[in-house]
Structures are given as structure tokens and as C-alpha cells.
Amino acid sequence: MSAQGREPGHNPFKSLKLSIFSDKFSDIFMTSFKATLMMIFIITSIIIVFYSFFGSETRWRFGYQDSPVNANLTRPFCVEPTRPEISTNTSHIVFGIGGSAKTWSRRQKYSQLWWRVNSTRGFVWLDEQPDRDTEWPENSPPYKVSSDWTHFKFSSSQSAVRIARIVSDSFRVGLPNVRWFVMGDDDTVFFLDNLVAVLKKYDHEKLFYVGGNSESVEQDVLHSYDMAFGGGGFALSYPLAEKLSKAMDGCLDRYSNYYGSDQRIWACVSEFGVPLTREPGFHQNDVRGDVYGLLAAHPVAPLVTLHHLDYLSPLFPNQTQDESLNTLMEAYNLDPSRTLQQSVCYYKNWGGIWSISISWGYTIQIYNSYLLPPDLEIPLQTFKTWRSWADGPFTFNTRPVSSDRCENPITYFFDWGQEVSKTETLTSYKKYVVDSSKECKAKVDYRRTVEKIQVFAPKMDPQEFAKVPRRQLCEIENFKYGKMKVKIRSSVP
């Protein structure tokens, strides 16, 4: 080992210097080098002192706080000056519902499910003055007649022009303290508390376009994946609505060949470069048949809207669609955030293992087999596509309903519910009795002995999903005398 190479404090520059310069020469060189450095230092200092006294502040920023290099790096860099933050509530929303004078009497039942008289704000926009002889229903949103919409070009539907202009009409009403403009059809059912919980997540002072697209791929292909479908409802932040109100009439001319009002609004929004913020709780419900499978395996997000209820089988068997909606609202009012939230648990018994999927406030399924959570999270395909009534594709995976009756779940539906305390609810689900020709007969099916299922659950924090979306947990407490007791808890401590 060479001692020279490993000498402590070995200075490579020293040996370099020795090899190039003689000692004497190097001394002279070093002295003048030091002197030069000193001069540069003094001159620089004088300049700095001069400028910090006399120079304009904007040109020289040597202050500690203004220098990006010296900035306190533990402080988040992009935090804006704090403004007094009042969190968004229903009073900050203005609804713009597309209606028509002739059909309102039939469609009013939908808005009456969620409209809160003297609390929610907004209007139903009509094509013409409604019949003066009949009084406007007290529990409907107040109406306004759309402003001049007949002189715009259109290719397929003139009412699409009118409904697209609801954005600018609503903005021009000029109501105070508005943060969001929420558009919907006359058959859109809003779940108000959940809508507020979702909008709270977004800064209403920025440009936001929040909604969802179609469940049927054919619809998204035909219109746009990036568009908020109008029937499912969508929200525009105030500054975006302001921009649209100015641009809309120009957009209506540019996009006159488009089909719907929602597509015209999307096109206009995209001119400002604002993308769709997708929220899975907005349901356009572009499906045919029974939407059951979808609602029994809802995404981990609050239920915000339901649409197309006139076209779908009743949500609850043995009930009309209107009765079904009242039943769902009864559960919803107990615990809005938890509505339709899925949880999965298993019950081991001497006959085998049952897989149980709960959609809170709506339905429970018991399977005679061991189905893993990723399977249970996939909606049973109880429906067809919207346009072609085909078996797909949809924008999510589906499981086929089996032709073997024993593989299909026994289903239970929400029957009644109550508050157990201020923070806990009890909901009860009753077995749906199919006619015996549809029952599983191949083997002894002990599932049939479960008549009722009772679910105890804590009320859900409306902001839980904003913090972290996660499927809720459940466990079987006991099963006695035809009654099964289940406990649900939040997965977030």
C-alpha cells in the first residue's frame, strides 16, 4: 500500500502546484491572487450597500424572506393568502333545471323529492309561460321563462339550445353569494347533502366543471367521454359560469350541429381549457331495464344524483317507481353519506360460507358461495345499454346474472330504519320472495331461512370520502330465528 497516496490531509492541488510552479513564483502568484479576490469582494460589497440604500426595491431583493434560495422550505410554497373560509353549503348553490311548461305537471314529482322550499335556490326554466289558470306548485322550484333562444341555429333539437342557455340565464339573474351553478334535467333527482359534500372539495373561485359521463360506452363514443352528461347533473363554479355566460351565444353558433344541450356546454367549457372533474356519484343512468346491479355495488363515493327513473324498472320490487324513491329517501334522510355505500362480509356456517354484500339503505345480497371482494364490487348486469339495448360495453365491469339460480344471490330490500342514537342508525332489510319457479332448488338452500337482516351503523362523516375514499367494513353479529344482525363501521378511524 502506498503511504504517499493515503497520506491524511493529502492535497492534490498542492502536488499539482509543485509540479507546475517553483515555490517562489507560486508565493508571488498567491499573494496577488489574494489581493485581487479582496478587491473584487470590496467592490461587490460597495455595490450591494449602494443599491440596498438607493436602489429600487423591486430590482434588488436581498431580504431573507424574498429570496427563493433562503425561503423557509418547511413552509408550503403555494399557499395563498388566507381568506376567511366559510365552507360551502346549500345556500351557495343555484340550480338551473331544464323543464317545459307542458311536462312540468308530470315531472314536478322529481324535484319535489329534493327541493327544500325557502332554502334551496334556483329556477326551473320553461319554454313558455305556464297555463295561468293553474297555480304553480308551492313545493316546486320557482320558474322562469327562458330568454330569446329561438334565433339560434340548430341541427337536431331546438330545445337543446334553450337548455344550454340556462347557464347564462341563471348567471344573469345575479343572485348574491353564489359559488356553484348546478344544472339538471326535470327528471334528475339530487341528493342535496351529498352534492354539497362533493362540491366542498373544490375551490369555487377556480374554474371547475364537475359531473359524470354515460354508463354506456356507445353514448360516450357518440357524444364525448369528456362531457358531463346533463341528466346526471353537473356543477360549474361561479367564475366558469361567468365566462360561459359571455361566451355561450357564440358557442351556440359554433356548435349548432351538436346534439344535446350538455354537449354544447361541454364544447364551450373546453374552449377555456377546463377538463371534466369526474365524480362517480353523478348517475346519468344511461341503462335499460333494472339499474339494481349498479346501485347494489355503488362506487366508493357519495350518491349525488339519479336520472332516467321513468325509463327504469322500479328500484324496489313490489313498489312503483314513485314509492321506490320515497323509500330510498327515507333511508337517505337517516344517513345521507352512507346511502348505497357497499360493504362486504362473510358468514361461515356448517353448510359452507355465505358471501354478503350490503348496499346501505337499499339492498343486501347473500350468495351461497365464497365470492371475493373484487368480484362483489363488480355490478351484476341487470341492465342493457341505453341506445342499442345490448349487453355492453359499459364504462365499468359487469358480472352476468347466472342462468344457474343457485349461483345468484338471495336479495333483501330496505324495509324500515330508525335512529338508535344521534350517531347511530338501525336499518332493516326484508327478504324478497321470488316466485318458486325462480328459486334455487338444486340443493338445500339454507339462505332461505334468513328472513330479515338488521344493520347497525354509525352515521357517516360527510367529509370522510374527501379525506380518503375506502369501502366500509361489516361483520356478522349473529344469526338467530331467521334474523341476522350485522354491524357496519367506517374503515377510517
In angstroms, what is the minimal distance from the CB of 78 to ligand NAG? 14
| Positions 40 through 79 that interact with ligand NAG (CB under 6 A) | 72, 74-75
Quick one: 42 or 86, whose CB is closer to ligand NAG? 86
Quick one: 311 or 432, whose CB is closer to ligand NAG? 432
318 interacts with ligand NAG by CB under 6 A: yes
In angstroms, what is the minimal distance from the CB of 264 to ligand NAG? 31
Q: Rounded to whole angstroms, what are the CA distances from 268 to 157, 264, 278, 363? A: 18, 6, 18, 40
Quick one: 121 or 338, whose CB is closer to ligand NAG? 121
CA 209, 219, 221 angle in degrees (round to 5)? Answer: 85
Spatial separation of the C-alpha atoms in residues 463 and 74, rounded to whole Å = 27
Burial category of 216 from C-beta neighbours within 10 Å (exposed 0-12, middle 13-18, buried 19 and up) = buried
Among 177, 369, 449, 463, binds ligand NAG (CB under 6 A): 177
In the chain, % helix, strand, coil (3-state, to 5) comes to 30, 25, 45
| Positions 85 through 124 that interact with ligand NAG (CB under 6 A) | 86, 89, 91, 117-118
Quick one: 203 or 424, whose CB is closer to ligand NAG? 203
Buried/exposed 430-457: b ≥16 CB within 10 Å, e otherwise: ebeeeeeeeebeeeebebeebeebbbbb
**Which stretches of 255-339 are DSSP H helices?**
261-271, 292-296, 321-334
In angstroms, what is the minimal distance from the CB of 65 to ligand NAG? 9
| Cell numbers standing for residue 170 | 341563471
Please list the residues that pair with 367 across neighbouring strands. 355
Contact 491, 460 (CB under 8 A): no
Which H helix or E strand runs over 14?
helix 12-20
In angstroms, what is the minimal distance from the CB of 277 to ligand NAG? 22
Count helices and strands in the chain by DSSP H and E runs: 13, 21
82 interacts with ligand NAG by CB under 6 A: no
Among 399, 430, 471, 489, binds ligand NAG (CB under 6 A): 430
Spatial separation of the C-alpha atoms in residues 181 and 161, rounded to whole Å = 18
In angstroms, what is the minimal distance from the CB of 122 to ligand NAG? 15
| Positions 262 through 291 that interact with ligand NAG (CB under 6 A) | none
175 interacts with ligand NAG by CB under 6 A: no
In angstroms, what is the minimal distance from the CB of 433 to ligand NAG? 4
| Half-sphere CA count of 184, side-chain side, radius 13 A | 33
| Cell numbers standing for residue 421 | 342514537
In angstroms, what is the minimal distance from the CB of 77 to ligand NAG? 12
Count the residues of the shown chain that bind ligand NAG, applying the rule CB under 6 A: 14
Quick one: 265 or 328, whose CB is closer to ligand NAG? 328
User: Which of these, 436, 425, 431, lies nearest to 409 by C-alpha position?
Assistant: 431
Quick one: 263 or 382, whose CB is closer to ligand NAG? 382
In angstroms, what is the minimal distance from the CB of 79 to ligand NAG? 10
Quick one: 58 or 118, whose CB is closer to ligand NAG? 118
Which H helix or E strand runs over 200?
none
- Which residues are CB-contacts of 164 (< 8 A; sequence separation ≥ 6)? 248, 251, 252, 261, 262, 264, 265, 268
Interacting span for ligand NAG (CB under 6 A) from 101-109, 387-395, 400-408, 429-437:
429-437
Spatial separation of the C-alpha atoms in residues 314 and 422, rounded to whole Å = 31
Quick one: 88 or 398, whose CB is closer to ligand NAG? 88
Quick one: 93 or 294, whose CB is closer to ligand NAG? 93
In angstroms, what is the minimal distance from the CB of 63 to ligand NAG? 13
Quick one: 17 or 430, whose CB is closer to ligand NAG? 430
Quick one: 52 or 119, whose CB is closer to ligand NAG? 119
CA 371, 376, 381 angle in degrees (round to 5)? Answer: 115
In angstroms, what is the minimal distance from the CB of 115 to ligand NAG? 11
In angstroms, what is the minimal distance from the CB of 188 to ligand NAG? 22
432 interacts with ligand NAG by CB under 6 A: yes
Quick one: 318 or 463, whose CB is closer to ligand NAG? 318
Quick one: 178 or 371, whose CB is closer to ligand NAG? 178
What backbone torsions phi and psi does residue 371 show, to the nearest 5 degrees?
A: -105, 130
According to DSSP, the β-strands at 342-349 and 352-359 are: antiparallel
In angstroms, what is the minimal distance from the CB of 318 to ligand NAG? 4
Interacting span for ligand NAG (CB under 6 A) from 83-91, 238-246, 301-309, 320-328:
83-91
What backbone torsions phi and psi does residue 436 show, to the nearest 5 degrees?
A: -60, -20
Q: Rounded to whole angstroms, what are the CA distances from 239 to 82, 245, 295, 480? A: 19, 10, 34, 58
454 interacts with ligand NAG by CB under 6 A: no
Which positions touch ligand NAG (CB under 6 A)?
72, 74-75, 86, 89, 91, 117-118, 177, 317-318, 430, 432-433
